[in-house]
Amino acid sequence: MKHLLKLSDLSKEEITDILDLADRLKYENKKGIAHPRLAGQTLGMIFQKSSTRTRVSFEVGMYQLGGQALFLSSRDLQIGRGEPVEDTARVLSRYLNGIMIRTFAQKEVEDLAEYGSIPIINGLTDYCHPCQILADLQTIREMKGDLSGLKFCYIGDGNNMANSYIVGCLTMGMEVSIACPNDYRPDPFVLDFAKAYGDKFHISDNILEMAAGADVLATDVWASMGQEGEAEKRKIAFKGFQINDKVLAAANEKVMLQHCLPAHKGEEITREAFEAHAKEIFEEAENRLHAQKAVMVRLMER
């Protein structure tokens, strides 16, 4: 593994290896055992969109690994004034040991990897959010044991989270159901990827049918970053695509919930459902730290 650009680049074995290392780093972190595996290294973090979890978990993670992180806002970088990605990649490769980037177009992340000579980590694009799904898989494994055979259901927008859940969960041997409005389906490349999994993948606008018997339920905001102008239109299109009592009742009685956060309570999830499952949701947020540290170690350790 040279980069983390999207989950479809990773095999089941590579994902398992990252999750195993994430568990070990979490254990060492809790026990106060130092693990300076990236001592003296620097990660650049380019942000073209807002962030709480991704920024803080990468920055703290890099510090705990003995290195340092540089926050690079696109408002300040020349990239924000039109300097080409291919030049930015070649320059930053000479100062840094790795780059995490959060941006709009997946192509920008792929271009950084093509033109740079250091590991690139995707910290969210419009297409996918691989770091988040690795943290979710770590959380699901902690709470449910073996991932293989679990029934996973996502309710809501066919967005970056849906795309990454489909690829990550299917790769790990889970059954995946997606409930979304017909006009807001996941990316065609991802739907094509899912075809190979036959009846392990289901997609429909029938929420209760998709949620039936689910071991894990997940959702995400109806309007993602960059779609603020569509928020009102989307509120109408997504009405009912919500995790609530009815959906929970349709799922397995021991169902767990995942939400990448930030949440819009009252839209994609009720306040009651969120609070009843807050333990799993905040463990998921914590696991961003551990899963990303594992990714950085695998990509950057000398």
Enumerate binding residues for ligand CP (CB under 6 A).
51-54, 124, 132, 260-261
Which residue lies nearer to ligand CP by CB, 26 or 102? 102
Amino acid letter for position 79? I
State the nearest-atom distance from the C-beta of 169 to ligand NVA, in Å: 17
Q: Which of 41, 132, 138, 292 is catalytic?
A: 132
Asked about 132 being catalytic, the answer comes back as yes
Rule CB under 6 A: say whether 260 interacts with ligand NVA.
yes
Asked about 288 being catalytic, the answer comes back as yes
State the nearest-atom distance from the C-beta of 163 to ligand NVA, in Å: 10
| Segment interacting with ligand NVA, rule: CB under 6 A, options 1-9, 157-165, 175-183, 278-286 | 157-165
How far is Cα of residue 272 from the mean position of the Cα atoms in its chain? 24
CA distance 30 to 21: 14
Asked about 260 being catalytic, the answer comes back as yes
Which residue lies nearer to ligand NVA by CB, 169 or 297? 169
Residue 52 contact among ligand CP, ligand NVA, none, beta carbon within 5 to 8 Å by kind: ligand CP
Rule CB under 6 A: say whether 138 interacts with ligand NVA.
no
Asked about 129 being catalytic, the answer comes back as yes
Asked about 290 being catalytic, the answer comes back as no
Cis-peptide, bond into residue 186, ω within 30° of zero: no
Active-site positions read 102, 129, 132, 220, 260, 288
Applying CB under 6 A, which residues contact ligand NVA? 124, 159-161, 220-221, 224-225, 260
